[in-house]
Amino acid sequence: MSTAKKEYKRVTVKSLTEMKHSNEKISMLTAYDYTMAKIIDSAGIDVILVGDSASNVMAGHETTLPITLDQMIYHASSVVRAVDRALVVVDLPFGSYQSDPKEALRSAIRIMKESGGHSVKLEGGSEVKDSIKRILHAGIPVMGHLGLTPQSIYKFGTYTVRAKEKAEAEKLKEDALLLEKWGCFALVLEKVPASLAQEVAESLTIPVIGIGAGSGVDGQVLVSHDMFGMTHEFNPRFLRRYLNLYDDMGNAVSQYVKDVKSVDFPNDKEQY
């Protein structure tokens, strides 16, 4: 049997389902600006998430709650301008979809129209059923997000692993099945036991993308600033850092300061 993977010139929601069914793992990273998105897309990522984690890593807020719909649209439109291949998923921010399905649809439409993103992601299951259905009804692809849902941090009180207890695990499994039934094209599972995540992935036909959810799911997502090592205070067990840019960039800045002070920079060739 051939093991050759299909080449995708442009990744769509349909490509992700095909990847799941051909056992090709899906790669996903966040991006919030043009330059980062260009690097990540050119390197062959399948999905770029314009996450509301922009609230933390770009704006320095403690939680994802403060970021606004306008700010998400600004980040998403910068990303979309850079992307040639990846599917772009944009988070609906806290407050833009929970109170009423009509508002949820208006928010999703604004993201699609004003940023050019290809789909939206929102957190929760049965609690946000009407919002999800309304958005899907308008032809907008929706990615679900269960497990640790950072927009509900004040309800949880901590960022620890979710669904370790039976009741919460059962509710998560039910919600995952509902999201698939309603028509979501994929699901993020954040910080849940690996065995539970694998069980969910095996029970669904749509792809399950994990973060802190083990290897038995259909793909992985990380916050790019964490995987590049640009952040250094956030050290969860699930994070693999591929670079140490916090130190590398800091060292470059120290060298630049020295070079400017000593008039080593600019040299004769670096001027007109």
Residues that bind ligand KIV (CB under 6 A): 30, 49, 51-53, 91, 188, 190, 211, 221, 223
Please report how close the Cβ of residue 89 comes to ligand KIV at its closest, in angstroms.
9
Helix (H) or strand (E) holding 149: none
Distance CA 206, CA 171 (A): 18
Distance CA 243, CA 235 (A): 14
Catalytic pick among 24, 123, 180, 190: 190
| Helix ranges (DSSP H) in the chain | 13-21, 34-42, 54-57, 69-82, 101-115, 129-137, 153-156, 166-182, 194-203, 224-227, 245-261
Given the complex with ligand KIV, which of 51 and 125 has the nearer CB atom?
51
Given the complex with ligand KIV, which of 220 and 266 has the nearer CB atom?
220
Given the complex with ligand KIV, which of 15 and 53 has the nearer CB atom?
53
Given the complex with ligand KIV, which of 236 and 266 has the nearer CB atom?
236
Please report how close the Cβ of residue 160 comes to ligand KIV at its closest, in angstroms.
15
Q: How many CA atoms does the CB half-sphere of 226 hold within 13 Å?
A: 18
Distance CA 15, CA 21 (A): 10
Distance CA 172, CA 176 (A): 6
| Residue 190 falls in the annotated catalytic set | yes
Please report how close the Cβ of residue 68 comes to ligand KIV at its closest, in angstroms.
14
Distance CA 220, CA 189 (A): 10
Given the complex with ligand KIV, which of 50 and 105 has the nearer CB atom?
50
Please tell me what DSSP assigns to residue 270: G
Tell me the CA end-to-end span of the chain in Å, nearest whole number. Answer: 62
Please report how close the Cβ of residue 115 comes to ligand KIV at its closest, in angstroms.
15
Please report how close the Cβ of residue 265 comes to ligand KIV at its closest, in angstroms.
37
State which residue has the least CB distance to ligand KIV. Answer: 51
Distance CA 57, CA 230 (A): 9
Residues with a known catalytic role: 190
